[in-house]
Structure 1
Amino acid sequence: MINNQCLAAAVAICALSFAVIHAKKKKKKKRRRVWTKPHLRGRGQYGLEILQRQLELNDKSGFRELLRMTADEFEFLLERVSPLISKQNTKLRKAITARDRLSITLRYLATGETFTSLAFQYCIGRSTVSCIVTTTCEALHLVLKDEYLKTPTSEDEWRTIAKHFFERWQFPNCLGALDGKQINIQPPYNSGSTYYNNQGHFSVVLTAVADARYYFTYVYVGCQSRLAETGIFAHSDLRRAMDEGHLNVPQAEPLPNMGDVFPYMFVGDDAFPLRADLMKPYSSRQLDHDERVFNYRLSRARSVVENAFGIMANRLRVFRTTICLKPEKVVKVTLASLCIHNYLIRCQSDAYMPPMLADWENAAHEVISGRWRSDGPGTLQDVPLGSARNPSQHAKDQRDKLKQYFVSPVGQMPWQENHI
């Protein structure tokens, strides 16, 4: 009897306690959710977008420094990309305009500033800035790639490139200069050593071909650093296209002022294999006179891709920082940057490429370093040499044949003896 009374009392106490706790919860006010942080409510009243409009009207040079392009060039990109990045207003808030979205993205590419810094400059949330940059870069690549990042597909297009190489750099039958760079990224989560390179950084690899005017005609982005160390060319679709004859390159034609035919080719450095359609320098050990001449002439032609990378890293300074994005997003940023670079190079934008930015030669053909070199290449570092290769005898014979052309009366340049 006593036990039953004790049990009933305990149950009554528990019920009373539960009722008290439940009553306190009812009295507690629901915490109000913040829809917009106070400092973000000034968007449209102050911020970098307001400065951009003022510069566009009153300070053209200031606008160029802000986005690395002129107002007309900005409007061209805006017209192209607006249909893909425009958003609808809602009853609760106004959408961020396509103009502001493009401005934020171009400012990120031009400076490499953090998303937090851009968020304060534009009075927009950090996560919103991150989303805007990624989606706008993807849209820029989508609308520009067919016109400004297209590998030549006809023999006439390749011949035009070769003509420019010979006229400007005196290298015959050249289809472009090939090189690869590592883009530093933050360590991807749970990726192990996949993107880790032998320089102690995490990176993705950019392989590209540039023509005689610093215009990229082929790009391949995203090769993992671990694979690149075994040879970036081996993992590119360019090699497969060359092997399978999909590039529609012209058949071998005579060298200038000579009757012997010679195949069209790319030029590269020691990171690439020697092939009949890909020339590289002779090993630097115990070079004779003719080999030094060949290396000098090839170096002049190959310098265009080094300068193309240097110009892009100098003007789009996101490549002077470690890009704190996932590898797949770094690929989107890089492809958009390459499209913008090619667009501005093609329209000869002096805002993007001012005088003396690239290397140039004086009357004596001495190379004067371009202004981009004073800042260095940023985080775009050379890819390490791949594994040892045994070139075919045919490739060696072709290189020797081109070497003899460069020292022959019809192929030599008057100044080359002064620079070897």
Structure 2
Amino acid sequence: VLVQLTDSDLNKTIAARIPTASKVLMTLWLLGNQESYRGIPDRFGVRKSTLHFIVAEVVSVWARCASSIMQWPTQDALVAGHFERKWKFPGVVGAVDGCHVPIKAPKDEQAAYFNRKEFHSVVLQGCCDSSMVFTHVHVGSPGRLHDARIFANSGLDDIISSLSEEYHILGDSAYPLQVNLMRPYRDNGHLTERQSRFNVTLSAARSVVERAFAQLKEKFRRLKYLDMDNLRMIPTFVMAACVVHNIILTSAEPFVVPREELDDPRLVRRDPDLSRASTAGKAKRDAIASLLHPA
């Protein structure tokens, strides 16, 4: 499947003597391992410059397929049914979160990419279904940017605003509470039992996107640190990995992520202006909490 997808849009003038299947294999090996660029050319019998050209072309092809491989669900009721059967939370059509992809310090705007954990990164925001398949991805924002601001710039807000009022996605406390985006009650030490139990249920359902990120980085270990000088190509590499992640999940056996990958802490920055809750969102959250946990 991946070879056919690549071959249909590949620039055949680049390393024309090398079969498409070999180019795909080289790219998968580079994304899946943290081996240096010096060692990989010897492994495949090509020059370093040739490897650079091949990988750049292949990941560009994969990234261009994102709109067809990562599609927003058209059957909201079906997707929501899967979430409700697994986690008892009604009306959920996706879970959103962000993760940091560590990068080499860029030559320009280093401060913008230097996050609060004191390493340089770009942010991958992903929304996935109950099977960890990405339905929307936004990648490339500087690591210092707040989750809520990335969400506002990603286009996902526009997508969910067109949902029927009964449907929503789930996010953590860094995201704004809206009719179509549910987040936990803020724990001020005085939560009611119903609110606390609501938070537990939401967290369990939302964790699917954390597992999706963990699985993505376990498959494509290069995303644990992208040692690249070309900052503009980094989003292409990450998007390509997300595309292949989806292809694997929709056509192969389940992939098991080691426990330590799931325990990797995520960085959250709250923007008090963008995280402001809507009145309608609060009312809907209270109604769902009452439905989930009647008195």
TM-score by length of 1: 0.65
CA deviation vs aligned residue, 1:252-281 (integer Å, no higher than 9, x gap)? 4xxxxxxxxxx2111110111111211111
Q: Report the counterpart of residue 84 of structure 2 in structure 1.
A: 166
Distance 1:145 1:192, change over 3 A: closer
Structure 1 position 332 matched with structure 2 position 248: no
The 1-side partners of 2:16 and 2:209 are apart by: 44
Given the alignment of the two structures, is residue 232 of structure 1 paired with residue 150 of structure 2, yes or no?
yes
Query: Compared with structure 1, are the counterparts of its residues 126 and 174 closer, same or farther at alpha carbon in structure 2 (3 Å cutoff)?
Result: same
In the other structure, the counterpart of 1:12 is: none
Question: C-alpha distance in 2, partners of 1:194/1:374?
Answer: 29
CA distance in 2, matches of 1:94, 1:402: 58
- Correspondence 1:16-27 to 2 at 5 A: none
Tell me, yes or no, if the aligned pair for 2:93 and 2:167 is still in contact at 8 Å. yes
> Which residue type is aligned with residue 181 of structure 2?
L
Does structure 1 residue 116 correspond to structure 2 residue 38? yes
Q: Deviations over 1:258-317 (max 9, x none)?
A: xxxxx2111110111111211111122322211111011101110110111111111111
Tell which has more relative contact order, 1 or 2 (C-alpha 8 A, sep 6+).
2
Match among 385, 390, 394 for residue 280 of structure 2 = 394
5 Å matches for 1:202-217? Answer: 202-217=120-135
In 2 relative to 1, CA 234–94 (structure 1 residues): closer, same or farther, beyond 3 Å? closer
- What's the CA shift string for 1:119-170, capped at 9, x where partnerless? 121122222212211110011232x434321223x3xx22221111112221
Q: Distance in 2 between matches of 1:135 and 1:343?
A: 19
What is the match of residue 360 of structure 1? none
**Contact 2:147 2:175 (8 Å CA) reproduced:** no
Query: Against the structure 1 CA distance between its residues 229 and 295, is the aligned structure 2 distance closer, same or farther, given a 3 Å change threshold?
Result: closer
Residue number in structure 2 paired with 1:102: 24
> Quick one: distance in 1 between partners of 2:34 and 2:146?
25
Which one is further off, 94-103 or 168-177? 94-103
Change (3 A) 1:230 1:387: farther
Which of 116, 122, 129 is the aligned partner of 2:51? 129
The residue that corresponds to 1:367 in the other structure is none
8 Å CA contact 2:127, 2:209 repeated in 1: yes
2:174 maps to 1:271:
yes
Q: Per the alignment, in what secondary structure is the counterpart of residue 314 of structure 1?
A: helix
Measure, in 1, the Cα distance between the counterparts of 2:126 and 2:208: 11
2:289 paired with 1:385:
no
- Shift in Å at residue 80 of structure 1? 1.9
Query: Percent same amino acid among aligned pairs?
Result: 26
Contact 1:166 1:173 in 2 (8 A): yes
Structure 1 counterpart SS, 2:116: coil
2:69 is aligned, of 144, 148, 153, to 148
Q: Distance in 1 between matches of 2:69 and 2:258?
A: 23
Residue type of the alignment partner of 2:283: D
Aligned residues of 1:185 and 1:325 also touching (Cα < 8 A)? no
Equivalent position of 1:72 in the other structure: none
Query: What is the one-letter code of the residue matched to 1:179?
Result: D
What amino acid does structure 1 have at the position aligned with 2:279?
Answer: Q
Match for residue 4 of structure 2? Answer: 79
Equivalent position SS for 1:115: coil
User: Which amino acid in structure 1 is aligned with residue 54 of structure 2?
Assistant: I
SS at match of 1:189: coil
Matched, 1:314 2:223: no
Q: Work out which of the two has the higher radius of gyration on C-alpha atoms and give 1 or 2.
A: 1
**Structure 2 Cα separation of the partners of residues 145 and 232 of structure 1:** 19
Asked whether the equivalents of residues 85 and 135 of structure 1 are also in contact (C-alpha less than 8 Å), the reply is yes
Q: Which one-letter code corresponds to 2:240 in the other structure?
A: A
Q: 1:293 aligns with which of 184, 197, 202?
A: 197
Structure 2's unaligned 5+ residue stretches are: none
Once the two structures are TM-superposed, the CA of residue 231 in structure 1 deviates from its matched residue by 3.1
Change (3 A) 1:239 1:323: farther
Task: Look up the SS of the partner of 1:85 in the other structure.
Answer: coil
Paired residue for 1:374? Answer: 260
Compute the RMSD of aligned alpha carbons.
2.3
**What is the letter of the counterpart of residue 136 of structure 2?**
Y
1:88 Cα deviation after fit: 5.3
CA offsets 1:224-248 (integer angstroms, 9 cap, x no match): 22333663222221123444x3xxx
Q: Which amino acid aligns with 2:180?
A: D
How many Å separate the matches in 2 of 1:276 and 1:201?
A: 35
Find the aligned partners of 2:129 and 2:201 in 1 and give their Cα distance.
16
2:149 counterpart SS class: coil
CA contact (8 A) 1:101 1:132 kept: yes
Q: How many residues align?
A: 293
Structure 2 CA distance for partners of 1:164 and 1:96, relative to 1, 3 Å: same
Are the structure 2 counterparts of residues 381 and 127 from structure 1 closer, same or farther at C-alpha, using a change threshold of 3 Å?
farther
Q: Give the distance between the partners of 1:401 and 1:132, measured in 2 at CA.
A: 54
TM-score under structure 2 length normalisation: 0.90
**Structure 1, 381-390 or 112-121: larger mean CA deviation:** 381-390
| Structure 1 residues 230 and 164, CA gap change in structure 2 (3 angstroms) | closer
